[in-house]
Amino acid sequence: MRTTHVKASDTDERWFLYDASEHVLGRMAAEIATRLIGKDRPTYTPSETGNTHVVVVNAAKARVSGRKDDQKEYQTYTGYPGGRQLWPLAIVRQRRAKDIVELAVRRMLPKNRLGHRLLKNLKVYGEGEHPHAAQQPVAVKATLS
């Protein structure tokens, strides 16, 4: 028995397309993080990127469950006393729609250099169009609503 170390350059490149209007935000983010890390492959190596790219469209229409539309808040902090700001989900959805999906996925990735490299393979767009049609991404359908 030998342990193999598979480099990212040795694996084939994969592209996935998620339509956020069809998926629940948390479930979609967990699935995207798993794919970016490469844990869905039999050749998973913890110290390498999975050589997977994910494109998310319609981020402004991402679905949330329960009462999160009314209650979920995003926080920013300037570092000064009294510099904490809370932004409700509705405001973030209008102003910076791609941040909703990007933050959800980023918080599920490793908090180290590898996580920063993996996040570069995530492309999020607020509308339904994207410039990655040449890569022929595989559309992922929602399994649970």
Prediction pTM value: 0.91
Residue 69 lies in a domain: no
Buried b (16+ CB within 10 A) or exposed e, 26-52: eebbebbbebbbbeebeeebeebbbbb
Number of structural domains, the chain? 1
Residue 5 lies in a domain: no
Tens of each residue's pLDDT in the chain, 145 residues: 787 788 888 888 999 999 999 999 999 999 999 999 999 998 888 898 888 999 999 999 999 999 998 899 999 999 999 999 999 999 999 999 999 999 999 999 999 999 999 999 999 999 999 999 999 999 999 876 5
Residue 77 lies in a domain: no
Give me the CATH number covering residue 121. 3.90.1180.10
